[in-house]
Amino acid sequence: MKELFSQLNPPRRILMGPGPSNVHPRVLKAMATPLVGHLDPEFLKIMDETQDLLRRLFKTENQFTIPVSGTGSSGMETCLSNLIEEGEEAVVCINGVFGTRMADIVERNRGKLTRVENEWGRAVPLEKVEEALKGKKIKLVAIVHAETSTGVLQPLEEISRLVHEQGALLVVDTVTSLGGCSVEVDKWEIDACYSGTQKCLSAPPGLSPLSFSERALKSLEQRKTKVPTWYLDMSMVKKYWGKERAYHHTAPISMIYALREALGLIFEEGLENRFARHHLNHRALAAGLEALGLEFLPPQEERLSMLNAVRIPRGVDDTAVRSKLLSQFSIEIGGGLGEFKGKAWRIGLMGESSTRANVLLFLTALEQILAEEGLSPAKGGAAEAASAVYRE
């Protein structure tokens, strides 16, 4: 039993899966700074700074923009359980695992669910949403901006127009997109959206940045029944983050330090620079993967830059490749989810993990491992194809 008392010593990994991503030392250091009380005047300042930075990141003036205590799924649960009451109609767009999760949450809240099902690996077309909205009194439409299970980017502007024409609320999952590509809450008129700290924000998992529009807040005020979950009832949590500073639950202080520091790093880099970095590293990785003969799930114009989903070549052992990447190169990538289990790899280039060095090391490692697995693409071709993109 002696080992239980020895110091914890997890390995250093290159995190290139669907999250968590690597964390900057400044963020880890922020977490090791002294604890203060959750109502300490100095902590209240840090809360205000965090909210200001989150508004800048979400590109919103929404007063109610806070980090919910919990991972990305807690933000999902917050939006849906605060905005849907028993018997109200919700449309959920499903083209991957996270749309499926949203539908499950609507049902648990006894909403009347309409599913807009679409092929996995493709964006949801406008017409399908239009069809689902016809002749119904819909309370909200929920959709995933960056579907991490398939690597698909969902265009939102036209869908938003449609949703608001019908007087419904638009709920958007920006867990994987926020901090890696443009998310425009006010311009796209998103009523409620949520994210997660461990993807493109490059902080540990544990908080879910969330923003509610005035329309969403009004809908929350006008509920006939209490929000079924006490912990995630934003009408109460709002009073802690707002002027009242009323105790609801103890804020996860060190996680809020981490988020505040991660947001500082984002604005130090600059949003546009950050998005361009994600895009460039994606293009280089894609060139390398294609040189190895790997095919992306989504067509080029629908691909995410922070998550690259490719089909596993026929005859190649999924688990063997991923465990070699981990044991020999300390690189983590993700396997497929849902209908792509065993059929796809998900290679993340999120936040701090999106670097040229990671792209080149990963391609070299994968090429070597695929050769050992009996696939023999041109030697050195992958890293060379990626380097050509960087030289452009």
Ligand X SMILES: *Cc1c(COP(=O)(O)O)cnc(C)c1O
Q: Please state the closest distance from residue 38 (CB atom) to ligand X, in A.
A: 22
Q: Are 117 and 94 in contact (CB under 8 A)?
A: yes
Least CB distance to ligand X at residue 198 (A): 6
- The answer to whether residue 202 forms part of the interface with ligand X (CB under 6 A) is no
Nearer to ligand X, 111 or 209 (CB): 209
Q: Where are the alpha helices (DSSP H) in 35-143?
A: 41-58, 72-83, 97-108, 126-133
Distances (CA, A) of 240 to 54, 56, 69, 233, 236: 17, 21, 12, 12, 7
The helix (H) or strand (E) run that includes residue 66 is strand 65-69
Beta bridge partners of 114: 91
Confirm or reject binding of residue 68 to ligand X (CB under 6 A).
no
Q: Rule CB under 6 A: say whether 340 interacts with ligand X.
A: no
Of 8-16, 70-78, 107-115, 331-339, which part binds ligand X (CB under 6 A)? 70-78
Binding mask 89-118 for ligand X (x = CB under 6 A): ---------x--------------------
DSSP letter, residue 303: B
Q: Single out the segment in contact with ligand X by CB under 6 A; choices: 69-77, 135-143, 216-224, 252-260.
A: 69-77
Name the residue with tokens 């960087």: 390
- Of 14, 15, 16, 19, the one binding ligand X (CB under 6 A) is 19
d(CA 201, CA 199): 6
* CA proximity to 304, closest of 332, 262, 334: 334
For residue 235, the minimal CB distance to ligand X (Å) is 23
Give the nearest distance from C-beta 341 to ligand X in angstroms: 16
- Residue nearest to ligand X as judged by C-beta position: 72
Contact 88, 136 (CB under 8 A): no
E strand or H helix at 362, and its extent?
A: helix 356-372
Residues 146-165 that bind ligand X (CB under 6 A): 146, 148
Give the footprint of ligand X on this chain (CB under 6 A): 19, 71-73, 76, 98, 144, 146, 148, 173, 175-176, 196, 205
